[in-house]
């Protein structure tokens, strides 16, 4: 809503020195934000001038050299290119030093002729061209012959207005009107709102027009008729206020409907009475019904649209747009006026399809039915006065609206408890008085009579907010709460995982959940996720962001590509985030830990390219840190996603359950060596771990022995490890792989793998014989199971 302060001043007396910026700020404190504020015309050093003489420029085919009188005995030469510059014309002159929105005017010489200013068109003063006629845009502004030379042309034209463009909250439909604004401003400055003038003449002729409402989605419908209107240009004050309010003036009749809407907040619709069938009907549209609207487009309607009909055909979309056939034209003589209240939700749905307009916006936010009557009377008054129409006697009324003021009971305690204030009853009643709410009180109870214009107020809490607004939010002291003692809590595990990953050298990312349909299912497992689909947005912004990712890895791979394109070599990133899928008709979301590693892992002299074992180390470190020490394994099975290298990937298993995958991205997708893993945290963290507890340290020494085994190449280390453990029993405290060798000196199908075994007993020192026996047990088992030979 753009507020014209000139318009506002019709309804409230403002101090002459009230600065527009101050008003905007004071309104902001009341909860009404604004986008911009300022003068309608931002230009200085303008005067009304008269062209005393106008000759063609000797060195130009389109310039004129004019002698312009700008004051008593003050004639200045100005070179002007406007085609309509001519002797005797009254014009707007920007003097030397004038500041216009686009330029600053300076004395100068144009093709050898001195020029001491500029004659202006209104758009050069900052008025949007959409408000101007073609003639006004083609040349300089032509002022009436009686315009006083030397005076301020902006004031003379009534364009000396201040405007504030408010960004109002959705509940304050009442502020979409000058009257509503007047009440709000009145509450700020403690001023009374003036009455609106509705008095008008009426002819003796009776209205014969009929109204028929056939839907519950219209609660109030009024119709009147004004005959023999004279279509002409509107008076300047109407044009100026419409322009200041952001509406293009058209002709006096159309302008009146807009003027009254801005003034009262009630949208009106004017019909050419001679094109109607003697009646207006309100009903829901038939499915597929056709209507050509004002903008000359044929619309196909649905059963959710409210239409106005003249009994034979649809002639308008209620609250949204009128029909082309019945609109006011230059030739209109008789006007039927509609003032109605339509259901906001219906209008909203229709306007979302067709056009959001000043009118539809007001219906959506809700209207005051008492204002509907007022707007009708105001419109016929202006039509009779400005368009010289004859107002027929009588109003056709359909009225199912509730027009009673709401009475809300509230206590002084209610207000002070919620605001945290210590206001007295008198202070509270004074707040309501400033808002022009009547109230009566008994003891500590106040009964507030809420006017119907404030449709946003229906419960006690709404009144508390009003008191808070008028009293001033800044006047409430903040305090520390005194609440029961309670320990706070947060998801420590996620934070610990994050810290661990950071400590392991990875950078945390925050990637987009939405991606394109091709990338959304990347890195899913054909076997595990075969029945799952990615979830699609109904109305995506772009196809690029139309689907929810099914893995977090797909987003990390995207980030890898982005960084790679920026010539970054070492990319080691991770994220804890959600991924989503659809299974049957149900939607699921899962919390994942995903990481991607590529490049080098060590810095300094010891550079080492990241390989499978680097990222595996990260996973092991995380799992062990979380307490799954001996419970995890990496297995090769058919759950591994096809987007991974089949020979360099594994499923991550904890307590026998599948938790995710690890591996190199399939070279068919990415040539570079890039490794990823993804673990389902919802599943993993459901596996319970024990509390940390102290275990006694053995007082007896342990012995470390290294063994190197020669085995077939395809024997997995984890199988050897298992066999060592089972044979080693209690005395084997630990066993670790420390070397792997293939090549020279070893058969091609063999490998040498070396373990360090730690042997000990917590109750005694082992003898050399006991140690030898333990080693023997282990190597024998390995020989038996894997044909493993002990190497020197």
Partner 1 sequence: MDKVEEVKQNALQEIEQANDVATLEAIKVKYFGKKGELTALLKMMGTLSAEEKPKFGAIVNSAKEEVSEVLNKKMDAFAKAEMDKKLQTEKIDVTLPGSKIIRGSKHPLTRVIEEIEDLFVSMGYDVVAGPELETDEYCFERLNLPKGHPARDMQDSFYITPEYLLRTQTSAVQARAMMANTEKTPLRIIVPGKTYRREDDATHSHQFNQVEGLVVDKNISFADLKGTLEIFMKHMLGEDTKLRFRPSYFPFTEPSYEVDVSCFKCGGKGCNLCKHTGWIELLGAGIVHPNVLSMNGYDPNEYSGFAFGTGLDRLAMFKYGITDIRLLYENDVRFLKQFDRKDD
Residues 136-155 that bind partner 1 (CB under 8 A): none
Smallest distance, partner 1 to C-beta of residue 419, A: 5
Smallest distance, partner 1 to C-beta of residue 578, A: 5
Which residues are within 8 A (CB) of 745 and not within 5 positions of it... i.e. 6 or more apart?
none
Closest CA to 229 of 389, 423, 341: 389
Pick from 52, 447, 473, 737: which binds partner 1 (CB under 8 A)? 473
* Sites for partner 1 among residues 342-361 (CB under 8 A): 344-345, 348-349
**Considering the rule CB under 8 A, would residue 481 count as an interface residue with partner 1?**
yes
CA distance 377 to 395: 10
Q: Taking the C-alpha atoms of 135, 140, 145 and 149 in order, what is their torsion angle to the nearest 10 degrees?
A: 160
CA distance 551 to 515: 11
Tokens of 39: 């003068």
> What are the distances in angstroms from CA 101 to CA 47, 245, 298?
16, 19, 41
**Considering the rule CB under 8 A, would residue 498 count as an interface residue with partner 1?**
yes
Q: Roughly how many angstroms between the first and final C-alpha of the chain, as a whole number?
A: 92
CA distance 745 to 739: 16
CA distance 123 to 134: 12
CA distance 70 to 116: 11
Contact 178, 3 (CB under 8 A): yes
3-state secondary structure of 656: coil
Smallest distance, partner 1 to C-beta of residue 367, A: 13
How many residues are recorded in the chain? 792
Smallest distance, partner 1 to C-beta of residue 104, A: 22
**Considering the rule CB under 8 A, would residue 465 count as an interface residue with partner 1?**
yes
Between 439 and 595, CB nearer to partner 1: 595
Pick from 264, 511, 649, 735: which binds partner 1 (CB under 8 A)? 511
Contact 646, 633 (CB under 8 A): no
Q: What are phi and psi of 4, to 5 degrees?
A: -90, 125
**Considering the rule CB under 8 A, would residue 109 count as an interface residue with partner 1?**
no
Pick from 18, 30, 54, 685: which binds partner 1 (CB under 8 A)? 30
Smallest distance, partner 1 to C-beta of residue 199, A: 35
DSSP per-residue string spanning 122-172: GGGGT--GGGS-HHHHHS---B-TT--TTS-HHHHTT---EEEEEE--TT-
CA distance 222 to 199: 18
CA distance 496 to 234: 72
Smallest distance, partner 1 to C-beta of residue 462, A: 6
Between 52 and 537, CB nearer to partner 1: 537
Smallest distance, partner 1 to C-beta of residue 568, A: 5
One symbol per residue from 304 to 343: x for binding partner 1 (CB under 8 A), - otherwise; what is it? ----------------------------------------
Between 539 and 688, CB nearer to partner 1: 539
**Considering the rule CB under 8 A, would residue 187 count as an interface residue with partner 1?**
no
Which residues are within 8 A (CB) of 291 and not within 5 positions of it... i.e. 6 or more apart?
285, 298, 299, 301, 307, 314, 315, 316, 317, 323
CA distance 499 to 717: 31
**Considering the rule CB under 8 A, would residue 490 count as an interface residue with partner 1?**
yes
**Considering the rule CB under 8 A, would residue 685 count as an interface residue with partner 1?**
no
Smallest distance, partner 1 to C-beta of residue 469, A: 5
Closest CA to 266 of 358, 400, 392: 358
- Region of 434-442, 466-474, 637-645, 706-714 interacting with partner 1 (CB under 8 A): 466-474
**Considering the rule CB under 8 A, would residue 489 count as an interface residue with partner 1?**
yes
* Sites for partner 1 among residues 639-658 (CB under 8 A): none
Q: How many binding residues for partner 1 (CB under 8 A)?
A: 91
**Considering the rule CB under 8 A, would residue 20 count as an interface residue with partner 1?**
no
**Considering the rule CB under 8 A, would residue 284 count as an interface residue with partner 1?**
no
**Considering the rule CB under 8 A, would residue 517 count as an interface residue with partner 1?**
no
**Considering the rule CB under 8 A, would residue 31 count as an interface residue with partner 1?**
yes
Smallest distance, partner 1 to C-beta of residue 508, A: 4
CA distance 453 to 362: 13
> What are the distances in angstroms from CA 224 to CA 309, 318, 340, 479, 667?
16, 17, 12, 58, 78
Smallest distance, partner 1 to C-beta of residue 82, A: 37
Between 178 and 464, CB nearer to partner 1: 464
* Sites for partner 1 among residues 588-627 (CB under 8 A): 589, 600-606
3-state SS of 38-101 is EECCCCCCEEEEEEEEEEECCCCCCCEEEEEEEECCEEEEEEECCCCCCCCCEEEEEECCCECC
**Considering the rule CB under 8 A, would residue 549 count as an interface residue with partner 1?**
no
Q: Taking the C-alpha atoms of 346, 348, 349 and 354 in order, what is their torsion angle to the nearest 10 degrees?
A: 120
Tokens of 475: 């006047």
Pick from 57, 64, 299, 469: which binds partner 1 (CB under 8 A)? 469
Between 5 and 351, CB nearer to partner 1: 351
**Considering the rule CB under 8 A, would residue 478 count as an interface residue with partner 1?**
yes
Pick from 145, 538, 668, 692: which binds partner 1 (CB under 8 A)? 538
Smallest distance, partner 1 to C-beta of residue 470, A: 10
* Sites for partner 1 among residues 396-425 (CB under 8 A): 417-421
Pick from 485, 630, 686, 697: which binds partner 1 (CB under 8 A)? 485
**Considering the rule CB under 8 A, would residue 29 count as an interface residue with partner 1?**
yes
CA distance 76 to 45: 14
**Considering the rule CB under 8 A, would residue 493 count as an interface residue with partner 1?**
no
**Considering the rule CB under 8 A, would residue 488 count as an interface residue with partner 1?**
yes
Contact 115, 107 (CB under 8 A): yes
Smallest distance, partner 1 to C-beta of residue 28, A: 6
* Sites for partner 1 among residues 357-386 (CB under 8 A): 364-365
CA distance 699 to 697: 6
Contact 443, 491 (CB under 8 A): no
**Considering the rule CB under 8 A, would residue 258 count as an interface residue with partner 1?**
no
Between 183 and 373, CB nearer to partner 1: 183
* Sites for partner 1 among residues 553-592 (CB under 8 A): 559, 562-563, 566, 568, 570-573, 578, 580, 587, 589
Closest CA to 177 of 437, 378, 465: 378
- CA 657 from centre of chain: 43
CA distance 272 to 232: 16
In a 13 Å sphere around the CA of 332, the CA atoms on its Cβ side amount to 28
Between 4 and 594, CB nearer to partner 1: 594
Smallest distance, partner 1 to C-beta of residue 678, A: 17
CA distance 367 to 455: 7
Between 119 and 676, CB nearer to partner 1: 676
Between 479 and 699, CB nearer to partner 1: 479
Between 295 and 496, CB nearer to partner 1: 496
**Considering the rule CB under 8 A, would residue 170 count as an interface residue with partner 1?**
yes
Between 160 and 624, CB nearer to partner 1: 624
Between 71 and 540, CB nearer to partner 1: 540
């Amino acid at each position: 809503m753009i507020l014209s302060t000139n318009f506002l001043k019709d309804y409230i007396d403002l101090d002459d020195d009230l600065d527009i910026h101050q008003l905007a700020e004071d309104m902001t404190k009341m909860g009404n934000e604004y986008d911009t504020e300022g003068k309608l015309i931002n230009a200085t050093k303008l005067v009304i001038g008269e062209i005393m003489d106008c000759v063609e420029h000797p060195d130009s085919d389109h310039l004129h050299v004019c002698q312009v009188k700008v004051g008593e005995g003050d004639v200045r030469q100005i070179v002007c290119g406007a085609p309509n510059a001519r002797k005797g014309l009254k014009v707007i002159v920007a003097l030397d030093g004038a500041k216009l929105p686009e330029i600053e005017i300076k004395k100068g010489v144009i093709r050898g002729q001195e020029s001491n200013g500029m004659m202006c068109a209104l758009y050069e003063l900052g008025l949007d061209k959409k408000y101007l006629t073609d003639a006004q845009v083609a040349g300089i502004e032509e002022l009436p012959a009686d315009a006083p030379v030397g005076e301020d042309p902006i004031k003379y034209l009534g364009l000396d207005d201040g405007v504030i463009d408010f960004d109002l909250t959705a509940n304050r439909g009442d502020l979409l009107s000058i009257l509503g604004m007047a009440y709000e401003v009145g509450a700020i400055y403690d001023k009374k709102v003036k009455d609106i003038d509705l008095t008008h003449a009426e002819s003796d002729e009776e209205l014969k027009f009929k109204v028929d409402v056939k839907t519950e989605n219209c609660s109030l419908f009024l119709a009147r008729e004004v005959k023999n209107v004279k279509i002409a240009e509107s008076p300047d004050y109407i044009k100026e206020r419409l322009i200041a309010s952001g509406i293009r003036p058209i002709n006096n009749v159309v302008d009146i409907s807009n003027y009254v809407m801005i003034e009262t907040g009630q949208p009106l619709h004017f019909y050419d009475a001679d094109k109607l069938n003697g009646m207006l009907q309100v009903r829901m549209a038939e499915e597929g019904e056709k209507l050509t609207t004002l903008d000359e487009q044929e619309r196909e309607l649905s059963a959710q649209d409210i239409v106005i009909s003249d009994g034979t055909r649809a002639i308008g979309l209620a609250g949204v747009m009128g029909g082309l056939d019945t609109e006011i034209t230059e030739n209109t003589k008789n006007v039927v006026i509609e003032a109605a209240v339509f259901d906001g939700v219906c209008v909203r749905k229709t306007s979302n399809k067709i056009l959001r307009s000043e009118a539809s916006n007001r219906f959506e936010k809700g209207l005051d039915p008492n204002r509907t009557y007022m707007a009708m009377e105001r419109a016929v008054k202006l039509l009779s006065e400005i368009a010289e129409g004859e107002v027929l006697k009588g109003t056709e009324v359909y009225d199912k609206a509730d027009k009673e003021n709401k009475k809300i009971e509230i206590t002084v305690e209610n207000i002070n408890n919620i605001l945290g204030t210590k206001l007295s009853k008198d202070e509270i009643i004074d707040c309501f008085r400033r808002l022009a709410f009547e109230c009566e009180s008994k003891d500590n109870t106040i009964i507030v009579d809420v006017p119907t214009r404030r449709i946003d107020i229906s419960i006690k809490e709404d009144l508390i907010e009003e008191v808070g607004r008028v009293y001033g939010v800044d006047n409430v002291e903040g305090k520390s709460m005194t609440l029961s003692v309670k320990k706070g809590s947060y998801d420590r595990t996620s934070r610990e995982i994050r810290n661990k990953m950071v400590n392991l050298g990875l950078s945390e990312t925050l990637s987009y959940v939405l991606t394109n349909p091709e990338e959304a299912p990347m890195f899913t497992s054909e076997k595990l996720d075969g029945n799952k689909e990615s979830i699609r947005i109904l109305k995506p912004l772009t196809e690029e962001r139309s689907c929810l990712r099914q893995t977090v890895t797909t987003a990390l791979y995207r980030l890898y590509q982005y960084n790679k394109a920026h010539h970054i070599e070492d990319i080691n990133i991770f994220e804890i985030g959600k991924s989503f899928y659809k299974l049957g008709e149900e939607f699921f979301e899962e919390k994942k830990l995903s990481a991607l590693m590529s490049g080098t892992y060590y810095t300094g002299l010891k550079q080492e390219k990241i390989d499978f074992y680097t990222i595996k180390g990260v996973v092991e470190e995380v799992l062990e840190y979380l307490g799954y020490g001996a419970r995890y394994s990496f297995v090769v099975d058919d759950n591994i996603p096809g987007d991974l290298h089949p020979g360099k990937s594994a499923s991550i298993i904890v307590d026998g359950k599948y938790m995710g995958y690890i591996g190199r991205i399939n070279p068919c997708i990415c040539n570079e060596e890039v490794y990823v893993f993804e673990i389902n945290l919802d599943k993993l963290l459901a596996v319970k771990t024990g509390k940390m507890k102290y275990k006694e340290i053995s007082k007896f020494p342990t012995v470390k022995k290294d063994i190197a085994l020669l085995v077939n190449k395809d024997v997995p280390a984890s199988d050897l490890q298992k066999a060592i453990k089972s044979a080693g029993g209690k005395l084997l405290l630990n066993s670790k792989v420390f070397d792997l060798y293939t090549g020279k000196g070893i058969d091609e199908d063999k490998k040498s793998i070396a373990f360090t075994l730690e042997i000990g007993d917590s109750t005694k020192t082992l003898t050399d014989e006991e140690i030898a026996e333990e080693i023997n047990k282990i190597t024998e088992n390995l020989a038996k199971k894997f044909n493993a030979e002990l190497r020197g």
